[in-house]
Chain A
Amino acid sequence: MDRFAIVTAFGQDRPGIVALMADSLYRLGCNIEDSCMTRLRGEFTMMLMVRLPAGIDADTLGSRLTSKTAPLDLALLCRALPDQAATRHSAPDVPTFMLSVYGADHPGIVAQVASTVAQQGGNITDMNTRVIGSGEVPVYVMVLEIQLPQPQQAESLRQALDALKPLLGVDLTLRPLESVTF
């Protein structure tokens, strides 16, 4: 029975972080399955689903990885993953939408938008946010990928989001993600 763990790690961005992390995992007998890594300003952040070898549990992996990657001074966390969570599923054919929200930066934009999406039955499957613009006039930008189980929910979500615009002082657009399979 395969066992899986999630490793999250972050540290000051520099060349070689992925290389040392991957090499350490490889030498510990772990297999990197799905992963996501990106840079948040000067911090490089990683989330990895790894398949554990026999005889090593998530806690052991966490301590061994921390010591092997010590030169990088990463903040590292390793947790066992329930088997069913690591099962691969075929991508379901759920209508997917992109939502862009942007406006003058102030607290609460993400919270209000996300709760509106949740209330409308939408599932946020991916999200990026950035503060852009000049230091004096910071602009908040968020881009979300949202799955709606029923396409007809889109209109009601659109109306709920439109109602947020004057409240939050943001502009936003919800659009179907053109996804094609050949």
Chain B
Amino acid sequence: MISLLTAFLIGGCLCLIGQLVMDKTNSSVSSGHILVGFISGGTILGGAGLYQPLVDWAGEGAAIPLSGFGNALAQGALKGAEKGIIGAFSGGVEATAAGITAAIVFGYVMAVLFNPKG
């Protein structure tokens, strides 16, 4: 049960940070910027070893925000780097391949199935 509570709280807090950035910059930061910012931030923090402890503690609350996706990229790259330079390149994408492929495949399928409703 405690895992549900931490997931809710940490997930909520990460989204709260995004909201503060959007509202405090008078919307000059768009939703696209937020996505890019979170994935970059997550990757850098993950590379510095600062994000993984949060994932270990808060589970999906830290993994589902896009910063968690960035962290997964960083963890993959760190693991790949043990095997040398090629591993450093392939590790990040290997670790997140399922998510990336899912996003693109589902994106395409939904676009074929549905029309924009406005």
Q: Is this pair of chains taken from one and the same complex?
A: no
